[in-house]
Amino acid sequence: MTAYKDLSKEELLELKSELEARFEEVKEKGLKLDMSRGKPAADQLNLSMDMMKVLAGDANLICEDGVDCRNYGNLDGIDEAKQLLADMMEVPKDNVIIFGNSSLNVMYDTVSRAMTHGIMGNTPWCKLDKVKFLCPVPGYDRHFAITEFFGIEMVNIPMTPTGPDMDLVEKLVSEDESVKGIWCVPKYSNPQGITYSDDTVYRFANLKPAAKDFRIFWDNAYCVHHLYEDKQDYLLEILMECKKAGNPDMVYKFSSTSKISFPGSGIAALAASEANLKDVRNMMKVQTIGHDKVNQLRHVRFFKNIHGIVEHMKKHADILRPKFEAVLDVLERELGGLEIGSWIAPHGGYFISFDAMEGCAKAIVAKAKEAGLVMTGAGATFPYGKDPHDSNIRIAPSYPTPEELSVAAEIFVLSVKLVSIDKLLGNL
C-alpha cells in the first residue's frame, strides 16, 4: 500500500471522493454502535450466572471461622474471600482488606482519606499548598477524574513499551516533596495493553521519594485478564519488591472481580503493608461495620479458589479474543502501510490503543459518530481530557457483538482515512 503522504494532491482528492461515497452509504443505514467503554458483553456476564445459585434459600451462610455472613462484623472481609483475592493478587492473605463491589471506590476513598486525615500521621493533603500526582499517559480516565476532583495537580508521564518513563518518575519523585502519588495500571495497561517490565517494577520499588507519604497507586485491574494461553505477560509482584527494597509502605495495590464476575456486583480488594492497612482500618471503622459478606461468600463458593478463577478467565478469553482479533485484522488490512495511524496488539486487558496523525483524534471520533459509532472521547486518556498531540483514541472491543464489531471497525477506519486525507490536504 502506498503511504498517504506520498500521494499527490489529485490522488488524495480522488481517494477522498471514493471514501466519502462509502461513508455516506454507511450513514444512511442509521446505525447505533457503542465502542466507548470496556464493558463486558452479556455472554461474558452469563458465565457467572451460576453464582446466583450457590447461596440458595437453605444454604449455610456460616464462614469457615464461624462468622454468620448475614450479620454485622468483619471490617476486613471474611477470611475465605481474603484468601481468594490474595491468591489472585499474589500477596499474603494478611496483607489484604476486602471492600465492596468497586476498586475505583476504594481508590477514591484512599485519596479522600489522604486529603482529609493524612497518611500514617503525615499532614493531610488538604492542608498543603500544593499536591501533585504523576499520571502515565495515555492512561485511565477514571483515575484522572479522582485526582482532578480533589484539586490535585496532575503531571503527565510518557508511557514507553516497558512502562512509564522511569527516568522522569525517579527525578520528580526524589526532587519534589509535593509529588504524593502516581497512578499505575501495570499489567495490560489501559489503554495500551502494556505490561511493566521487571526493571520498571524494580525501579518503582527502589524509588527514593522526597515525600514521606508518597504512595504508588498500583491498580492491577487486569491481573488475570489474558487473551491467549500461550502469550501471557508476566508482572513482577510490587509489594514484595518494595519490602525487599526497604520501602514496604510505599505501595497501595488494588484489584477486583469487576471484569471476572459481575462488574456491578463483584468484590474489590486493597493489598498493602501491615502499617498501611492499620492506618486504613482505623479510618474505615468509622465509615462502615463491614462490607457485603454474603456477596463475598457467594464469590468464594462459586470460584472455590484461584484455579477456579483461572479456568473462568479462559472462558472470558474465548469470547474476547475473536473480537480483538477482528478489530486488529481490519486495522491491519485497511490501514497497514498507509502511515496514518499506529496501534498495539495487546496480549490481554480490555482495550486497543490507536494513535492517529497529530491533530486528528477529535475529528476522527466526531466523524465516526456521524455514522452512528460512539467511541471514547478523544483526550479522555490524558489528565484534564487534554491530549497535547490530539492523537490517541481508545478502542473498546468487548461490548459489541462480533457482527456489530466488524461494522464498527469499518466505520472507524473510514473515519481515520477521511480525516487523515483532510489533514494532509491542509498541509499542502
CATH number of the structural domain spanning residue 336: 3.90.1150.10
For residue 49, tell me if it sits in a domain.
no
For residue 341, tell me if it sits in a domain.
yes
Shared-domain flag, residues 119 and 84: yes
> What CATH number should be reported for the domain holding residue 110?
3.40.640.10
Shared-domain flag, residues 100 and 140: yes
Please identify, among 247, 281, 304, the residue that sits at the C-terminal boundary of a domain. 304
Shared-domain flag, residues 208 and 318: no
Q: Which of 260, 238, 265 is nearest to 249 (CA)?
A: 238
Q: What is residue 1's predicted lDDT score, i.e. its pLDDT?
A: 80
Shared-domain flag, residues 187 and 228: yes
Rounded to the nearest 10°, the torsion over CA 337, 342, 348, 349 is -150
Query: Where does residue 93 rank: exposed (0-12), middle (13-18), buried (19+ CB within 10 A)?
Result: middle
For residue 337, tell me if it sits in a domain.
yes
Shared-domain flag, residues 398 and 279: no
Question: DSSP label at 273?
Answer: -
Q: What is residue 166's predicted lDDT score, i.e. its pLDDT?
A: 98
Shared-domain flag, residues 258 and 130: yes
Shared-domain flag, residues 37 and 72: no
Q: What is residue 86's predicted lDDT score, i.e. its pLDDT?
A: 98
Please identify, among 283, 304, 325, the residue that sits at the C-terminal boundary of a domain. 304
Asked if omega into 138 is within 30° of 0 (cis), the reply is yes
Shared-domain flag, residues 226 and 98: yes
How does pLDDT run along the chain (428 residues), one tens digit per residue? Answer: 899 999 999 999 999 999 999 999 999 999 899 998 889 999 999 999 999 999 988 889 999 989 999 999 999 999 999 999 999 999 999 999 999 999 999 999 999 999 999 999 999 999 999 999 999 999 999 999 999 999 999 999 999 999 999 999 999 999 999 999 999 999 999 999 999 999 999 999 999 999 999 999 999 999 999 999 999 999 999 999 999 999 999 999 999 999 999 998 999 999 999 999 999 999 999 999 999 999 999 999 999 999 999 999 999 999 999 999 999 999 999 999 999 999 999 999 999 999 999 999 999 999 999 999 999 999 999 999 999 999 999 999 999 988 899 899 999 999 999 999 999 999 87
Shared-domain flag, residues 39 and 75: no
For residue 21, tell me if it sits in a domain.
yes
Annotate 162-180 with DSSP letters as a single string.
TEE-HHHHHHHHHH-TTEE
Shared-domain flag, residues 175 and 284: yes
Measured distance CA(232)–CA(234) in Å, rounded: 7
Question: DSSP label at 216?
Answer: E
Q: What is residue 37's predicted lDDT score, i.e. its pLDDT?
A: 86
Please identify, among 304, 322, 349, the residue that sits at the C-terminal boundary of a domain. 304
For residue 68, tell me if it sits in a domain.
yes
Q: Are 104 and 142 in contact (CB under 8 A)?
A: yes
Q: What is residue 116's predicted lDDT score, i.e. its pLDDT?
A: 98
For residue 225, tell me if it sits in a domain.
yes
Shared-domain flag, residues 166 and 263: yes
Question: What is the domain count for the chain?
Answer: 2
- Domain with 12, as residue range(s), is 4-44+310-424
Angle 281-277-235 from CA coordinates, rounded to 5°: 140
Q: Are 182 and 135 in contact (CB under 8 A)?
A: yes
Q: Are 181 and 216 in contact (CB under 8 A)?
A: yes
Q: What is residue 361's predicted lDDT score, i.e. its pLDDT?
A: 98
Q: Are 83 and 348 in contact (CB under 8 A)?
A: no
For residue 166, tell me if it sits in a domain.
yes
Measured distance CA(146)–CA(119) in Å, rounded: 17
Q: 29: which 3 cell numbers? A: 443505514
Collapsing DSSP to helix, strand or coil, 291 comes out as coil
Distances in Å between the Cα of 287 and the Cα atoms of 63, 111, 322 are 23, 15, 43
Shared-domain flag, residues 132 and 34: no
For residue 50, tell me if it sits in a domain.
no
